[in-house]
Structure 1
């Protein structure tokens, strides 16, 4: 794993969090159809794919807080892990430069 894959993961999880925040903000909006974000990854990057959920025709908001809250926890945890990986790599590079100098 390299820094660019960590950064792409952080950016993708930010998209997920933005979508999630919009869904939660509209939990009381009549007829609101939430969006859903799926993560797609390969060995070098992570990307976010966002789409509108299926409309059930309900006049009430279709936002499911039982789904949205755990999604926020996942996005927060994934971002924290990637930030830690970047910090560790930065510290390792700094140590190598100190040894070389």
Structure 2
């Protein structure tokens, strides 16, 4: 069984990967024949978190509005994963207070 902090950390890493790919897409949106980067996200075996892999889209071009939505979504995913880690830390502190 995976620890809660490793699940939250993997979520933050994947969200950061999504932000990086989207930022790269925006930076290259005026590059001729540029194929945008897409992050595929999937659960790891055993429920130990998530992994992300970057691939190139089949279509050429970048839609700025799509990238803005992707960046907001990745930011919310990062914040949610961070909250998981913070909550686990608080729970561990409370448990130590009870046991001490």
Q: Distance in 2 between matches of 1:94 and 1:70?
A: 36
**What is the TM-score with the length of structure 1 in the denominator?**
0.85
Q: Which runs of 4+ in 1 moved over 3 A?
A: none
Match of 1:40 among 35, 39, 42: 42
Residue 93 of structure 1 corresponds to 92
Does the alignment pair 1:25 with 2:24? no
Residue 12 of structure 1 corresponds to 14
Q: Distance in 2 between matches of 1:69 and 1:39?
A: 18
* Segment drifting more, 83-92 vs 47-56: 47-56
> How far does residue 14 in structure 1 lie from its aligned partner after superposition?
0.9
Q: Which has the larger radius of gyration?
A: 1
Aligned partner of residue 51 in structure 1, secondary structure: strand
> How far does residue 31 in structure 1 lie from its aligned partner after superposition?
2.4
Aligned length: 96
Q: Distance in 1 between matches of 2:67 and 2:42?
A: 19
**What is the TM-score with the length of structure 2 in the denominator?**
0.86
Structure 2 residue runs of 5 or longer lacking an equivalent are: none
- Greater per-residue helix proportion: 2
Structure 1 residue runs of 5 or longer lacking an equivalent are: 57-61
